[in-house]
């Protein structure tokens, strides 16, 4: 059972376009993290959102955590070829000292110049 579903799975767009990636679950998370992963490398943390309804911006990337802390979205404005990669959302459901991450299925983004 996949707790976190991401959509779309694949996205190929032209440079300058906008896009939104969705991360949905029926479970509540104490926080949600977004990562970007390039071939041959490990995931690189982009942002952590903790509070329901929270919005964080990182240059052209806007992240939102759902009010119920079950879903999140990543919006990229004016995409560039350097944005190409696998985008992963990961929810933290653990308690106490364990922060076990549940990863989504991933969204593979290709931005064509």
Partner 1 sequence: ETGVTQSPTHLIKTRGQQVTLRCSSQSGHNTVSWYQQALGQGPQFIFQYYREEENGRGNFPPRFSGLQFPNYSSELNVNALELDDSALYLCASSQGGRNQPQHFGDGTRLSIL
Give whichever of 20 and 94 is closer to partner 1, judged by the CB atom.
94
For residues 45 and 110, which CB has a smaller minimum distance to partner 1 in the complex? 45
Q: Are strands 107-112 and 10-14 parallel, antiparallel or unpaired?
A: parallel
Q: Compare residues 77 and 94 and give the one whose CB is closer to partner 1.
A: 94
Burial 20-55 (b: 16+ CB within 10 A, else e): ebbbbbeeebebbbbbbeeeeeebeebbebeeeebe
To partner 1, the closest distance from the beta carbon of 15 in angstroms equals 25
CB 111 to partner 1: min, Å? 19
């Amino acid at each position: 059972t996949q707790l976190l579903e991401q959509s779309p799975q694949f996205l190929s767009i032209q440079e300058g376009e906008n896009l939104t990636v969705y991360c949905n679950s029926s479970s509540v998370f104490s926080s949600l993290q977004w990562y970007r992963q390039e071939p041959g490398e490990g995931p690189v943390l982009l942002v952590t959102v903790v509070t329901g309804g929270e919005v964080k911006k990182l240059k052209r990337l806007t992240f939102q955590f759902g009010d119920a802390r079950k879903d999140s979205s990543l919006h990229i404005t004016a995409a560039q070829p350097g944005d190409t990669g696998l985008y992963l959302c990961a929810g933290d459901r653990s308690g106490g000292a364990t922060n076990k991450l549940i990863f989504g299925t991933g969204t593979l983004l290709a931005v064509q110049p």
